[in-house]
Structures are given as structure tokens and as C-alpha cells.
Chain A
Amino acid sequence: MSQKSGRVVAVNGNMVSIGFQGNVAMNEVVYVLSKGKRLKSEIIRVKGSEAQAQVYEITKGIRIGDEVEFSEEMLSVELGPGLLGQIYDGLQNPLPEIAEQKGFFLESGVYLRALSRSKRWSFSPQAKPGDILRRGDCIGSVPELHFTHKIMLPFDFFGEWTLADIVPAGEYGVEDAIAHVRDQRGVERELRMMFSWPVKRAVDCYVERLKPKQPMVTKTRIIDTFFPVAKGGTYCIPGPFGAGKTVLQQVTSRNADVDIVILAACGERAGEVVETLKEFPQISDPRTGRSLMERTIIICNTSSMPVASREASVYTAVTIAEYYRQMGLDVLLLADSTSRWAQAMREMSGRLEEIPGEEAFPAYLESLIAGFYERAGLVLLNDGETGSVTIGGAVSPAGGNFEEPVTQATLKVVGAFHGLNRERSDARRYPAIHPLDSWSKYPGMVDAKQVEEARDVLRRGNEVNQMMKVVGEEGTSIEDFVMFLKSEFLDAAYLQQNSFHDVDAATDADRQTYVFAKIHKILHARMFFPDKDAARRWFLQLTAVTKDWNLVLMKSPEFKQLEERLDGMLAEVLENA
């Protein structure tokens, strides 16, 4: 070991200053030894012979002169088989195991290993001695639940390596040596099934990044049809409290058409995480028929857990996402909420007495947010396969006002914006994504021209509605009034969706294309009505029938019957009829 040593010289909130001798590295993990506990911390600033560290625990009880232990490692996560279905805190401690050992509370200074050391995995080798390997190359695999989990050359093995030997197929633990590799200078290193990777560094073992094109189906109509997200893309969901951010993310985490979902509950309510972790094991994934939990990893650093590990939690989550992407899988990372992450940075920046930017957020907020979202992407891997990480971040703007630094910094770097709106949620129009303010730069699965026409109906309907507030219904022409009714129909019958109804909650791609074509036809039709009351009555009925249509299975006979009823109704009012 080196002669590094250090002692606490100041404590301010969750930041300690350490007087040290020897060399320290930025972002190095250090432990403050306080009252027999080892408190994990990270170096965030070095100034002369003093370094500031953020402590991932409550700092109560730390004294001046407490000893500090240096790990010589950056904050890292363990990568290997056994991550799926797990519930971790922001530093990758498995919460159920902590509960088993320590009971109800999260005491400070308790760190457990993320991957089980006792579990045996059935390893089958793939690479042969003599093979030339680069980092990220597959040397074998183990079955992890229903996935084939690739065992790869660790991502920090730069250069070319020759496989010296590899174990035969059999049962091994994550720490057992399974192979040896040698570099060009003859240095030999041992390989295990697990390795670690620093969370704040993007995994870059791929040939190139590709442009995300293929839509990631979320089965939420307003998203897939109007504001689609591509696999490997990024999107954000800002909204005031109570507008339905969390419900929307929960629905997406269930229905999204991806292989693996990682939920980063960052500084939000513990109760919501509890719902997910108690309910997911009971819900089966329609794609595989297995429990949803088997494709889910929860990184949970709720609002009352220490702030510094909240900051780490989004990085932990994205690193695990990148790891599974390297196996050629499509991964969705849902972060709720990135504002809490930004606030954690603000707290730290304040303690460091940095010059504050807007609303006291640090000046580097934008570049950190950009850096985080840029870790999403569709990549071409060494073996010719592709893998993707899609990031969806909820944003909780203060006062529901989008003109604040976190929302604005996020909007600059994401590919789609699903803005939740207070008026819509108050009117119980769920999902409360605003159909006029939101946007997406990704191609969808429905014809773009038709979508644009439908949005135009919404826009014009909205104008008529504004006008009617002034001149009343009497002063509005019937054409305008019908336009308004059409926009309300599109909203009620297509954009709104009941996320608590078994059928309506998830509309798959085929059904969306089919139903949208019908809706578009109705919107496009020239209609004739004798008066406004007749028009309103007809549209109310049309909306009711279409809503019923949304509630029946596409395969069922009722689906056809209701469709025929819609056709019949439309024929009655066509202008040339």
C-alpha cells in the first residue's frame, strides 16, 4: 500500500474536508472512519494538501481528526451475472439483503456486495485459447433468467489480448477464475465473470454509434403516434406535481418493447418504489410470459436517503444499462426524477462555495445533464450486433414552470419532449402530455403526414375554443364548431388512455396504426349537421362508441361490431350523403 494518509479537518453538512499526505485522485472513493463505522465518500475537490469529499451517509458524529482511508479506486459498480431482478440503492447495495441483516432501517456504514458470491452460474465457454480478444469481446456466456448473459473481456482491458486458457463448461461463482489472457508484452491476467467499472465514465467498447431510427413502442398512444421515442434515443417528461409523471413512467416500464428496464428512483417517494417492487413480481411480461421483475433492475435512492448517493444513483443506473447494451440488448433507463439529481449537485456546489449559476444551480449543470443523456444511444458492437440504451428522464420543475434551469438544460439535449400539463391533469385528461407543446425528433410508426394533419385539427380546435370563450357558442360558425368537436373527439378517444384498464392501458403498434387510420378518416371527413346541438350529440355518441372500442380486445367480435357502428355513424353525416 502507499503511504497515503488523511484526517478530517472540517465537516460541513454532508461534505468533509480531509487533510492528506501523498497523492489523491479526483473522484477517488475514501472512507471516513467514525465511531467504528466506515463511511463511504468521494473526493470532489482537491486544493493543496486538503481535499473535499462528499459523504454518502449522514455526517452526524464525525469528528475533527477522524482517520480517512483511501481506496485508490473511483466509485464503481460490479458488473456480472445476477443484476437482473435486483433492488439496489444508489451505491449498488442490495436492499433486500440489507433488510435481512439489519432490519427496518438503513444504518450508515453498511455496504454489501452487489453480486452474490455464493451463487453458481452455468458457464459455457465460447472463445478458444489463441483467440485474439479486445475489450468487450465475448468469451462465454451464462444463462441469467431467460437471457443469455455474455461474459465479456472487461472494458478496461485496452489493446489486444490472447486467450491463454479457459475453463470447460461447468458451474462457477462470479469470483472464480474462468480464463487467463496475455497481452503483447506477455503480461498475464486472470478473468472472472464479474468486473467493475467506474460509474462516471461512459462504456465505449463499440465500433460506432448509429442514428436511432426504430421506434420503441411504449403502447401509450399519444407517445407512439404523436411523440415517438426511438430505441437508443432520449426523452424527458417534465411536469408539476400530481400531473402523472410517475404513473406514466410506471406504465412505460411495464409495456415498453425493450429487453431490460432499469428504474432509477432518484430522490422520490419510497412508497412508489414499494408499489413497483411488490407488484412487478406478480405481473407477467407479455413478451416472454415471465414475471416483469425478471427484466427489471431497480436503483432506488429515495428522497430521505443520503443526498450524495442520490447523485451517484443515476450514474450507477446508466452504467448497468450500458453493460447490458454491450450484450446486444435494448435497455430502457427511466430516471425519476432528474431534478432531484440536479438538486443534489446544487447542495454540494453550495457547500463547496462555488459561484452559483441560475437559481443557485452550479454553472456546470448543463454539461453534466448533457453528458448523462449522451450516454444513451444505439451502438454497433464488435461482433456486428447492435444494442441500445434509451433514457427517459422525469423532470420536476419548481412551481411547474418549465422556464427553469433543469428543464431547459434537459430540453437542449433530448430527442423528444413529453410536457405534462396541469390543466390537462386537473381535467383528468390522462396521460396529461400536452399535445400542442410537446415534440419529438424521432420517426414514428404512423404516417408522419397524417399525424401532422391530426395535430393541425388539435391546433385549430384549440383556437376555436379560445375564441368561443369570448364570443360564446352563439357567435361561432358551425364549421368552426365542428372543428372544435373534432379536436375534442381526437383528444378523448385517442390521446386519452386509461392506464388502469386492462385493455386500454396498452395499445400495441398494429392496433395503433389501425385505429389511427380510422380516426384520421373521421377527422378528414367533411360532415354536415343541421345545427350545433345535433353536431354535439353526434360527436358525444361517436366519442362514447370509440371509447368502448378502445376497451375491447382487437381479436374479439365486439371490436368488429363497434367498428361497423363507427362506420355507420360516419356515413350518416357525410356531406355528400
Chain B
Amino acid sequence: MHKVYHRIEQIAGNVITVTASGVANGELAQVVGTLGVSLAQVIRLDKDKVYLQVFAGSRGIATDGQVRFLGHTMDVSFTDALLGRVFNGSGQPRDNGPALDENRIPIGGPSVNPAKRIIPRKMVRTGIPMIDVFNSLVESQKLPIFAAAGEPYNELLARIALQAEVDIIILGGMGLKHDDYLQFRDTLEAHGALSRSILFVHTAADPTVECQMVPDMALAVAEQFALQNKRVLVLLTDMTSFADALKEIAITMEQIPSNRGYPGDLYSQLASRYEKAVDFEGAGSITILAVTTMPGDDVTHPVPDNTGYITEGQFYLRHGRIEPFGSLSRLKQQVNARTREDHRTVMNTMIQLYASFKETLEKQSMGFRMSAWDNKLLKYGARFEKEMMDLSVNIPLEAALDLGWQIMADCFEPEETGIPSKLVASFWPKKTA
């Protein structure tokens, strides 16, 4: 029923061209090369010429290779049997389990009608004070971790995933080192979370085209679970690899690059993925936590820059800690007024004091004399970094707020902090001389 084409006219990069008719834009095809069978997707039509990107790469594809169009666009199976499984970027099993074929759903579906969204109001507790206290994560938020290569971003991601109170965790791994993938899987397994997780993993050794599919696949599945009233957390790491995959295809297709070789639609491409984060009116939600590695630790690089304009804040991971400056959760105002009455005050005061500490550090390094106030700040800053910022700290929000009061009380007099007297009366720890 589906015609097979035997003549491949052009092979450039991972894109092949065949002459065919009746083919739809975005349609899938099977390509048989000397190294095996791969899926391919139509990315451009020009008269009777059909351009396909081959998921497994064009290596080993001969001009007489077979191309068979499948008559449908890229889809993924959606069933509860997905839970606990690992797939690659084409949706094929990566573990030794059976392939799933029932209830195929298309990926990269239309966007959610803004009129059907609701204002997010539920905080996601992570047990990390730098997040819970200072930049609360909110259900349905889209938030990337900006980090230079080498920072422990995947560890952080795994920790948040394990501690967050969500129903389902979906990992979309792009360009992961194989070790990192195993690490993720083992961590989830060790904490008994694998049974509520689904992993779509593209490793650095896999073909680039599959990298492009990972977020769409992960998010399409997430969307279905969310519509079934589940709270879903999607982890995407690393979105810079995804952007690089886009760049590779764009250049192969001879598109005019806009900025450092990235295609002009990078913003739209990233946005259409991140905007899948949603709190449905009358159903579940999708929260997206992503990793964006910054080449050269440069936040103005096109990938982190475009991401920053799309997402609702960002966490800067630097020297193994979440930086209080630059990190931002745009949605924190929606939740932190209703946690505990001292939450906002502790958040603001501690950050202001930490900023003063940084100024003092600068003064100290320039050799200016330290005043009594400076010494207090130095003491405070050291404790703040050790007891709040260190990523190994793992305490609930309330305990973190109490700890905040304790640190301030150990270093300052109440009036030095500028905290309103009403809160001081009820929260300032009594001296236990």
C-alpha cells in the first residue's frame, strides 16, 4: 500500500532527498541503509523533491537505499506501560523491555489556549533552601538551571525530582554522557522513583536528529498525563544540546544563520517546547525544569539568552551553589505570601544582608579597614554560604526559615536587620546565654 522508493538523489549531512509524490510535510518514513533501518521525517517539500532527516544519521545510506513512507507523522505510544521504561529519541526501547505500539499520539501538538490556563498557585517543595526560601518553584513553572559545563546540574535536577511532590517524572535527556544517563536511572531506582518515571534518553553517541525529538516526545506524553489530572514534572537536560542539534540541521538545510550559527527561529523553537508547561483549568499540570549549559559561562550566548526571555526565571548554578543574585523565580510572588508570614521578610532581609556581605568582601580584598559592622557581615556571610547555600543542605521550608532567623540572631541585633518590629517580636530567637 505504501510505495517504496529506491532512488536517493542527494545525501547531505543527515538529510536525504528523494523524488516522490503524495507525501505530507512532517510525514515519517523508513529508510533502509547498509547499516540497518532507521526512521526519517519529511522536513521540506519542493515540487516532487522530498527532503527527509534520517534519525539514525545518513551514515551507510546508499543511493539505492529504500525509502518507504508510513503515512503518519511522528508519534509516541501513550499507555501506563510507559512508566518505569527507558526509550531513545525515536521512541524505541533503550532498556530490554518490549516495544510499545498501542494508543499512538502525535508529538509536537498545538499550543494550549491561554483562555484555558489558570494562574499557578501551588508551591513545589524541594527541600533546598535556596529554592524554597529564596526562589520558590511553582507548579506549572518553566525554569532552567543555567550552569557552566562541569557544574553538578544533573545531580541537582535528580535531587529536585526525587523530593518534589509530583505524580510522574519524565526525563528528557539530550546529548547526555552515557554515565550521566546511568546515574539518573540508578538514582531514580535507588529511591524507588523509577516506577513513576519515564525516561527518553538521547546520549552524546546517538544520532543528532534523535536529540531534536526528545523534548517533543517527553512533553507529548506529559501532556496526556496532565490531562488525566496528574501532576507531571518534566526534566530536560541539556537544552543547549537540543539547540545545537537544531543548528546542525539548519546549517545542513542551508538556512541563513542569525546569531553564532543558530537558526533565526531558535526563540520560537525553544518557546514552543517550554510553553508546554501549563496548569490546566480543571486538570493536572506540567512543570518543566531544564538545564541550559552556558558555553564559556556566558549568559549572553544565544541559547541561555533566548531561554531567559522564554522561561519564568532561572537558577544560576555556580561553584556548586545556587547563586542568590541572578537567580529568579518569576512566580514566587504567587506562592510565598501564603506559606508563613515571615517568608518574604526572611527572603528579602537575608539577601540584602548577603549583598552587603559581598560589598564588604570587595572592600576587604582592596585592603580597606574592616569596621565592627563589616566583621558582623563577614561572620554572617560565611554562615549563610555554609548553612543555606550549600547544596547538601536538605531541610523543609519551615526549618529553613527558622534557621534563617537563628543565623541572623547569632550575627546581628534585631534593629540592624531592618525587620519590622512585629515580626521581630514573634520570630527573633531568644538569646540562650
Q: Is A307 an interface residue (CB 8 A)?
A: yes
Binding stretch for chain B, among A93-101, A436-444, A450-458, A518-526? A93-101
In the complex the two chains form, what is the Cα distance from A191 to B333 in whole Å? 51
**Quick one: which of B367-403 are within 8 Å of A by CB?**
368
Are A274 and B119 in contact, with the CB atoms below 8 A?
Answer: yes
**C-alpha gap A99/B111 in the complex (Å):** 12
Contact residues in B for A396 (Cβ distance below 8 Å): 309
Interface bin, chain A: 35 or more
Contact A106 B112 (CB under 8 A): yes
Interface-located stretch among A54-62, A201-209, A564-572: A54-62
CA distance in complex: A99, B331 (Å): 25
Query: How far does the alpha carbon of A47 sit from the alpha carbon of B46 in the complex, in Å?
Result: 15
Of the listed residues A9, A304, A305, the one surrounded by the most CB atoms of chain B closer than 10 A to its CB is A304
* Least CB separation from B109: chain A residue: A105
Contact A270 B275 (CB under 8 A): yes
Report the nearest B residue to A500, measured CB to CB: B333
Chain B's nearest CB lies how many Å from the CB of A329? 26
Task: From B119, B257, B264, B276, give the contact of A278 (CB < 8 A).
Answer: B119
Which of B16-24, B55-63, B149-157, B234-242 participates in binding chain A? B16-24
On chain B, the residues within 8 Å of A118 by CB distance are: none
**CA distance in complex: A398, B264 (Å):** 12
A303/B308 in contact, CB under 8 A: no
- Inter-subunit contact A270/B112 (CB<8 Å): yes
- Produce 1/0 per residue, B257-288, CB < 8 A to A: 11100011101100110111010100100000
Query: Which residues of chain B from 77 to 124 have a CB within 8 Å of any chain A CB?
Result: 108-120
A271 touches B256 (CB 8 A): no
- Per-residue CB contact flags for chain A residues 87-113 toward chain B (1 = under 8 Å, else 0) read 100000001101100111111100000
CB B215 to nearest CB in A, in angstroms, measures 12
A170 within 8 A of B: no
Q: Is B310 located at the chain interface by the 8 A CB criterion?
A: yes
- Is B417 close to A, CB under 8 A? no
B244 within 8 A of A: no
Minimum distance in angstroms from B117 CB to a CB of chain A: 5
Closest to B21 in A: A64
Least Cβ–Cβ distance between A464 and chain B, in angstroms: 17
Give, as a whole number of angstroms, the nearest-CB distance from A426 to chain B: 6
Take A274-B118, A346-B258 as given contacts and tell me if A360 and B275 are in contact as well, using a CB distance cutoff of 8 Å.
Answer: no
Query: Is there an interface contact between A303 and B268, defined as CB atoms closer than 8 Å?
Result: yes
A304 CA to B258 CA, complexed, in Å = 20
Q: Which of A102, A105, A267 contacts B271 (CB 8 A)?
A: A267
In this assembly, does A560 line the interface, its C-beta being within 8 Å of a C-beta of chain B? Answer: no
Q: How far is the CB of A3 from chain B (nearest CB, A)?
A: 23
Pair B115/A65 contact, Cβ less than 8 Å: no
Residues of B close to A346: CB separation below 8 A: 258, 264
Contact B111 A59 (CB under 8 A): no
| Cβ-neighbour of A347 out of B112, B265, B276 (below 8 A) | B265
- Contact A63/B24 with A241-B308, A398-B305, A400-B300 known, Cβ cut-off 8 Å: yes
From B44, B48, B280, B333, give the contact of A11 (CB < 8 A).
B44
Chain A residue with Cβ nearest B273: A304
Interface residues of B in 301-341 (CB under 8 A from A): 302, 305-306, 308-310, 312-313, 325-326, 328, 330-331, 333
User: Bound state CA distance, A396 and B307, in angstroms?
Assistant: 12
Chain A residues near B22: list those with CB within 8 A.
Answer: 63-65
Within 8 A of A (CB), among B25-71: 25-27, 44-48
Partner of A269, one of B109, B110, B257, B275: B275
Smallest beta-carbon distance B90→chain A, Å: 18
Identify which of B21, B44, B109, B114 gathers the most chain A CB atoms within 10 Å of its CB.
B114
A472 and B328 CA atoms in complex are apart in Å by: 32
How many pairs of residues, A versus B, come closer than 8 Å at their CB atoms? 175
Other-chain contact of B264, A108, A277, A360 (Cβ < 8 Å): A360
Pairwise interchain contact B328-A242, C-beta atoms closer than 8 A? yes
| Chain B 292-303: CB-based contact to A (< 8 A → 1; otherwise 0) | 000000001010
| A304 & B328 in contact (Cβ 8 Å cutoff) | no
Known: A63-B23, A65-B21, A241-B309. A274 touches B117 (CB 8 A): yes
The answer to whether B115 and A96 have CB atoms under 8 Å apart is yes
Give the residue of B45, B267, B331 whose beta carbon is less than 8 angstroms from that of A10.
B45
Q: CA A399 – CA B309 in complex, angstroms?
A: 10
Determine whether A401 belongs to the interface, using a CB cutoff of 8 Å to chain B: yes
A343 at the interface (CB under 8 A from B): yes
Q: Do B115 and A61 have beta carbons less than 8 Å apart?
A: no
Let me know if A356 is at the binding interface, CB within 8 A: yes
Which partner residue on chain B sits nearest A399 by CB separation?
B300
The reply on B73 being an interface residue by CB < 8 A is: yes
Closest to B45 in A: A11
Residues of chain B contacted by A271 (CB below 8 angstroms)? 117, 119-120, 312, 331
Nearest Cβ in chain B — how far from A478, in angstroms? 19
Could you tell me if A350 and B255 are in contact, using CB atoms closer than 8 angstroms?
yes
Give B120's nearest chain A residue, CB to CB.
A271
Given A304-B275, A304-B276, A472-B368, A398-B113 contact (CB < 8 Å) = no
Q: Does A302 contact B (CB under 8 A)?
A: yes
Contact B21 A9 (CB under 8 A): no
- Kindly state the separation between the CA atoms of A270 and B120 in the bound complex, as whole angstroms: 12
Contacts of A62 in B (CB 8 A): 24-25, 45
User: How far, in whole Å, are A302 and B142 apart by their CA atoms in the complex?
Assistant: 15
Q: Does A340 contact B (CB under 8 A)?
A: yes
Which single member of B109, B256, B300, B368 contacts A360 (CB below 8 Å)? B256
Return the chain A residue nearest B20 by Cβ.
A64
0 or 1 for each of B221-242: is its CB under 8 Å from A? (1 = yes): 0000001000000000000000
Question: Is there contact, CB below 8 Å, between A98 and B23?
Answer: no
Residues of chain B lying within 8 A (CB to CB) of residue A10 = 44-47
- The answer to whether A12 touches B115, judged by C-beta atoms less than 8 angstroms apart, is no
Q: Residues of A contacting B300 with CB < 8 Å?
A: 398-401
1/0 per residue, CB under 8 A from B, across A471-492: the answer is 0100000000000000000000
Shortest CB distance B382–A (Å) = 23
Q: Are A64 and B47 within 8 A (Cβ)?
A: yes
Assess the B47–A9 pair: CB atoms within 8 A.
yes
Cβ contacts under 8 Å, B306 to chain A: 398
State whether A95 touches B115 (Cβ < 8 A): yes
Q: Does A275 contact B (CB under 8 A)?
A: yes
How many Å lie between the Cα of A59 and that of B43 in the bound state?
10
Cβ of A359 within 8 Å of any chain B Cβ, yes or no, is: yes
- Are A59 and B25 neighbours in the complex by a CB distance under 8 Å? yes
Does B255 contact A304, Cβ atoms closer than 8 Å?
A: no
**A87 partner residues in chain B, CB cutoff 8 A:** 114-115
* Chain A residues within an 8 Å CB radius of B267: 267, 303, 340, 343
- Docked pose: A270 CA to B76 CA in angstroms: 26
> Is there a chain B Cβ closer than 8 Å to A381's Cβ?
no
A304 and B264 contact, Cβ closer than 8 Å, known pairs A63-B24, A359-B259: no
User: Are A106 and B305 interface neighbours, CB within 8 A?
Assistant: no
CB of A300 within 8 Å of the partner chain: yes
Contacts of B280 in A (CB 8 A): 104
Looking across the interface, which residue of chain A has its beta carbon closest to that of B275? A304
Nearest-CB distance from A43 to chain B (Å)? Answer: 18
Distance in angstroms between the alpha carbons of A274 and B121 in the assembled complex:
13
12 A-B pairs, CB-CB below 8 angstroms? A10-B46, A12-B44, A58-B110, A61-B24, A63-B22, A63-B45, A106-B112, A242-B330, A303-B267, A344-B268, A350-B263, A400-B300
| 7 closest cross-chain pairs (CB), A and B | A399-B300, A303-B271, A304-B275, A60-B26, A360-B258, A241-B308, A304-B111
**Interfacial residues, chain A to chain B (CB-CB below 8 A):** 8-13, 17, 58-65, 87, 95-96, 98-99, 102-108, 240-242, 267, 269-271, 273-275, 277-279, 300, 302-305, 307, 340, 343-344, 346-347, 350, 353, 356, 359-361, 396, 398-401, 426, 472, 500
Since A63-B23, A240-B308 are in contact, a sample of 11 more A-B pairs with Cβ atoms closer than 8 Å, ordered by chain A residue number, is A13-B265, A58-B108, A60-B24, A64-B22, A64-B23, A267-B271, A270-B278, A278-B118, A347-B264, A359-B259, A399-B300
